[in-house]
Amino acid sequence: MPKPGSVELREYDLPTPQPGALLIETVAAGVCGSDVHMFADKHPLKSIVLGHEVIGRVVDPSTRPTDSAGAELAPGDLVSVVYFAFCQHCRQCQAGRTHLCENSYNHWIASPDDFPHFTGTFGTHYYVGRFQHVFKVPDNVDPLAAVSANCALAQVSAGIDRGKVKSGDTVVIQGAGGLGLWGVAVAKERGAHVVVVDAVQRRLDAAKAFGADATVSFDDAPEAADRIARVRELTDGGADVALELTGVGSAVPEGIEMVRPGATYIEIGNVMPGVEITLDIGSMTRRAVTIHPVIRYHQRFLKAGLEFISRNVGKLPFDKLVDATYPLDDVLQAMEDSKARKVNRAALVMAR
């Protein structure tokens, strides 16, 4: 993406991986909300090799013989990659907070004209740097089912873990997009009672297919006060944990009113700087509600996410996650359809 709103396919020689790095052949790459933000000029980055969600095949593992869990890698193995890096020398990495690494995106925002060129996943290949984690995809997992595992699934799993969701908890999920559907599935597996709030009925239907116990639609409850009342009704006075997965600022004050005293509010969706909201801090304090913003994740959540998909093959409708696929040549169409919300979740499919 040389500038927002435009894309250009460029050709480069394949890089020879440095020790610890790994070149993969891209099988599929998901179009994420943040890619669309960049394309729509609603993101600080104005020029980038697009794409961070990916499933790919190992080309030559000689520079990186094992994945991050120690499993041996062979040519052709399907892998998923933590899209950000842990530099290991910044203050956050040194303190063990690797998911907060201050250099997490340096490899990604580099110019494609410089080595290793293949820094985003919207390409025939993707260069996995030595500070990026990589995990083998279990044999029974379809690449399209796992294409958003390294972003949406791992991210929402980290949020659910941060919220300490446990069996018997009531969980409200705001937003039934890519993050929300995974959120429903993961919270259900933990034994929670899950209520999903969204404006679009077909997204709520998908949430039900992923196990949501109840849904609240904007059609039935057009005002925030109605939705708050409905969720409180469905959760015996307020949820134990809420997750904001909409990326809409106004969802936050609304969601905070949907939880019980002492509850945890997990903020994930609003990641663009400049989103300002008005909060009733008095109501929050009186009810001792805690807000936990969550950004990026520990690599174990990706490994766990891939295993989650593997044990739920045939049980969850993973084919509902991606509703439009495009060849790499049609990347502009994929971006425009996503921006216009003609599709929920697009993916580029390069090879199978």
Choice between 264 and 297, CB closer to Zn ion: 297
Choice between 151 and 259, CB closer to Zn ion: 151
Contact of 346 with 47, CB cutoff 8 Å: no
Contact of 33 with 149, CB cutoff 8 Å: no
CB of 250 to Zn ion, least distance (A): 22
Choice between 214 and 302, CB closer to Zn ion: 302
CB of 227 to Zn ion, least distance (A): 26
**E-assigned strand segments in 67-169:** 78-81, 125-128, 134-136
| Antiparallel, parallel or unpaired: β 125-128 and 22-30 | antiparallel
Annotate 164-196 with DSSP letters as a single string. T--TT-EEEEE--SHHHHHHHHHHHHTT-EEEE
* DSSP one-letter code for 33: H
Contact of 350 with 26, CB cutoff 8 Å: yes
**Helices and strands in the chain, H and E counts:** 10, 13
- SS3 state at 290: strand
CB of 101 to Zn ion, least distance (A): 3
CB of 222 to Zn ion, least distance (A): 30
**Cα–Cα distance, 284 to 253 (Å, whole number):** 10
CB of 37 to Zn ion, least distance (A): 10
The DSSP bridge partners found for residue 291 are 265
| Closest residue to Zn ion using C-beta atoms | 32
Choice between 153 and 231, CB closer to Zn ion: 153
Choice between 36 and 58, CB closer to Zn ion: 36
Choice between 26 and 170, CB closer to Zn ion: 26
CB of 151 to Zn ion, least distance (A): 3
Residues that bind Zn ion (CB under 5 A): 32, 87, 90, 93, 101, 103, 151
